[in-house]
Amino acid sequence: MNLFDRKYPLFAAALVSGCSVIGSLSLGVFAGSVPVSPAISVPAEAGSASHGRQLFVQSCAHCHGDDARGDEGPDLHDLRRSDARIHEVITAGIKGEMPSFGKKLGDSDIRALTAYLRTLRS
C-alpha cells in the first residue's frame, strides 16, 4: 500500500516533514564543517544592500570616501575578508585606526552594511 494513500495522510505528512527537518539539520552540521574561502559570501538581498548604503553614508563615508574608494580609511572595493571578519571589524573597530561601531549599529545593520560592501567592485 502506498504511504500517500488516503488511509494514511497524517503519517505521510509527518514522514515527509520529519525527513525535511532531519535533512535541514544534517545540512547545517555539514555546512559548518566546510572551510569557507574569505572571498566567498552569501548573496545579499537588494533591500539589505540598499539599507547598508544608507548606513555607509552616515557612518563610514567620512573616512572611506563617498564612493568607498578610500580617504583616511582604505578602499573597500573587492574586499577579500569573510563576512564574519567584516562584522568583527565593524563591531570592535581597529585600535588606533578605526572606531568601534558595535554600540551604534546592531547586528542587522552590520549585516546590511556588509551586504552593501559586497556590491562594491573595482
pLDDT at residue number 7 = 52
Quote the CA–CA distance of 75 and 94 in Å, as a whole number: 15
Dihedrals phi, psi of 75, to nearest 5 degrees? -65, 135
Closest CA to 92 of 84, 103, 82, 100: 100
Contact between 58 and 108 (Cβ < 8 Å): no
pLDDT at residue number 47 = 74
Quote the CA–CA distance of 50 and 43 in Å, as a whole number: 13
Dihedrals phi, psi of 111, to nearest 5 degrees? -65, -40
* Residues 1-45: tens digit of each pLDDT: 444 445 555 444 444 444 444 444 333 433 444 344 444 344 445
pLDDT at residue number 82 = 96
Quote the CA–CA distance of 120 and 44 in Å, as a whole number: 12
Whole-structure pTM value: 0.62
When computed from its CA atoms, the radius of gyration of the chain, rounded to whole angstroms, is: 21
